[in-house]
Amino acid sequence: MKLFIDTANTNHIKEIASIGIISGVTTNPTLIAKEGRDFQEVIKEITDIVDGPISGEVIGLKAEEMIKEGREIAKMHKNMVVKIPMTKEGLKAVKTLSQENIKTNVTLVFSSNQALFAALAGATYVSPFVGRLEDTLHDGIEVVADIRQILDIYNLKTEIIAASIRTPKQLADAARVGAHIATVPYAVFDKAFAHPLTDKGIEAFLADWQKAFGNKG
């Protein structure tokens, strides 16, 4: 399984990248707007930090607009992936862009049928929104598991990015049911790192060492 970071905050990307656990980045219009910076400038900086797939999302709603924007995004860097919403127009754009060997990430996926359609249209990635599904009392992890089963049965090459991950439990569950990738916000990485028994264990080891040897080596 691979992990991406779901943010446009370059300080957060640098910090998690330095630990060596992420191999890609996903952004969306909300995350870019939150940084209050120019899209091109942020993307350029991200491509300098992480050498892996970086999703930048289109804004247009018509296929022709998305295709045009998608080509521009793809031109920005060899690692760019064009993020496209799961609509009929979106999938038309995915079909055209995939024929041009441009990688796509179909976003705002909430069902296994949507994921199947995206895969058949040629999507490189599909992004089921686990957290938003669970916010509305649906089982987001079951949707991820269903998508994985369908992709495997029909030998479809599309990879699942479990997105909208809000808790360490959702991350662990996405890994358990076979998401190829999870894109994780900084705050969830932070929570998932910590365990009270790890901290307690370090304290006890140090205390025992100091009791026996003082501060020596």
Cβ closest to ligand G3P, residue 110 vs residue 117: 110
> Which phi and psi angles does 43 have, rounded to 5°?
-60, -40
Cβ closest to ligand G3P, residue 83 vs residue 148: 83
Cβ closest to ligand G3P, residue 102 vs residue 163: 163
Count of beta carbons in the 10 Å neighbourhood of residue 45: 14
Q: Which of 2, 83, 92, 95 is catalytic?
A: 83
With contact defined as beta carbons under 8 Å apart, do 83 and 125 qualify? no
Rg (CA), the chain: 20
User: Smallest gap, in angstroms, from Cβ of residue 30 to ligand G3P?
Assistant: 6
User: Smallest gap, in angstroms, from Cβ of residue 81 to ligand G3P?
Assistant: 12
Count of beta carbons in the 10 Å neighbourhood of residue 138: 14
**Cβ-based neighbours of 11, under 8 Å, separated by 6 or more:** none
Q: Give me the residues that bind ligand G3P (CB under 6 A), please.
A: 6, 26, 28, 129, 131-132, 163-164, 183
SS3 42: helix
- Specify whether 83 is catalytic: yes
User: Smallest gap, in angstroms, from Cβ of residue 6 to ligand G3P?
Assistant: 5
Closest-by-Cβ residue to ligand G3P is 164
Q: What is the C-alpha to C-alpha distance for residues 205 and 217, in angstroms, rounded to an integer?
A: 14
CA angle 176, 181, 184 (to 5 degrees): 95
Cβ closest to ligand G3P, residue 33 vs residue 61: 33
User: Smallest gap, in angstroms, from Cβ of residue 53 to ligand G3P?
Assistant: 13
Angle between helices 63-76 and 39-49 (to 10 degrees): 50
**Residue 148, class by beta-carbon neighbours within 10 Å (0-12 exposed, 13-18 middle, 19+ buried)?**
buried
Catalytic residues: 83
